[in-house]
Amino acid sequence: MKRMNWRVSSIVPFLVACSALPVLGDEYLNGIEWQEPPVVKPGENGAPPSDAIVLFDGKDFSAWNGAKNWKIVDGAMVCGKGDLHSKQGFGDCQLHIEWSSPTPPTGEGQGRGNSGVFFMDTYELQVLDSYENETYFDGQAGAIYKQTPPMANAMKPPGTWNVYDVIWTAPRFNDDGSLKSPAYITALQNGVLILNHFELKGDTPFTAPPSYNKHADRLPLRLQDHGNPTRFRNIWVREIKPVVGKQVKKPFMRKPNGEEVPIQ
């Protein structure tokens, strides 16, 4: 019995090694000729990736309009009177933005550290001090204002830095002004998923239900002045460009002898 066990234990590693060998057989190929993905160098230690459009790196407001009453303190922009608009317009994009609620905290509910990131000047991703601060859920930090709460409250306390990483898909409109496809947003706050491909119902006003109104393909990013000195830093955008591929032949199977057999 002992000898049998020794034999079995020596065969098992041999079989495992065999299973790791490539199996020759038919190969599926999709018939698409892909464009080579661009090389993007990731940023080190919180720096933007190599192809990012930097909107604020702690130095100046050169990428923005409306900053007359905003200030830069210790490498962060501090919200002043009037909304800030990026000079450049964006459609589909990836946004990274860091923000910090005023400390010590003052006010409560919507009055504590309220600001907002408006995509395309129109659709608000709420910025609010939602650290131990109750308000209506579809108005707390990470909400699409008055449309959906975030999936989690991932707030860091006032005075520390929150990070939003957002994937924004712009709405599309038909020539007659009707909606072709809605806007979608996926967002992480401090690495926690808070919005997962959420379909927006339209804009995000306080005084009216959401609606879509035809607008340009690219519009500025807007940072809201809601009367609170919220701080922002390290703001960058990557424009989203679709992967490009051309169907040059029907999907096919390639036989070991090289023969190509189209899949019917």
Per-residue x/- mask for Mg ion, residues 16 to 55, rule CB under 5 A?
A: ----------------------------------------
**What type of residue is 234?**
N
What is the four-CA torsion angle of 17, 18, 21, 26, rounded to 10 degrees? -150
In the complex, minimum distance from the CB of residue 193 to Mg ion, in angstroms, rounded to a whole number:
21
In the complex, minimum distance from the CB of residue 204 to Mg ion, in angstroms, rounded to a whole number:
9
**Which H or E run contains 6?**
helix 2-19
Candidates 85-93, 116-124, 151-159, 162-170; binding stretch for Mg ion (CB under 5 A): 116-124
- Which residue among 66, 116, 150, 220 contacts Mg ion (CB under 5 A)? 116
For residues 91 and 80, give the distance between their C-alpha atoms in angstroms, rounded to a whole number.
26
139 binds Mg ion (CB under 5 A): no
In the complex, minimum distance from the CB of residue 110 to Mg ion, in angstroms, rounded to a whole number:
8
For residues 48 and 56, give the distance between their C-alpha atoms in angstroms, rounded to a whole number.
11
For residues 63 and 5, give the distance between their C-alpha atoms in angstroms, rounded to a whole number.
73
The residue nearest Mg ion at its CB is: 116
Structural tokens at position 121? 């000047």
Helices (H), 42-94: none
Name 76's bridge partners. Answer: 73
In the complex, minimum distance from the CB of residue 226 to Mg ion, in angstroms, rounded to a whole number:
5
Within 8 A by CB and 6+ apart from 225, the residues are: 79, 80, 81, 82, 83, 84, 115
Q: Which of residues 205-224 bind Mg ion (CB under 5 A)?
A: 224
Per-residue x/- mask for Mg ion, residues 86 to 115, rule CB under 5 A?
A: ----------------------------x-
In the complex, minimum distance from the CB of residue 236 to Mg ion, in angstroms, rounded to a whole number:
21
Q: Which is nearer to Mg ion, 52 or 204 (CB)?
A: 204
Number of residues located near Mg ion, criterion CB under 5 A? 3
Q: Do the beta carbons of residue 230 and residue 102 sit within 8 Å?
A: yes
| Site of interaction with Mg ion (CB under 5 A) | 114, 116, 224
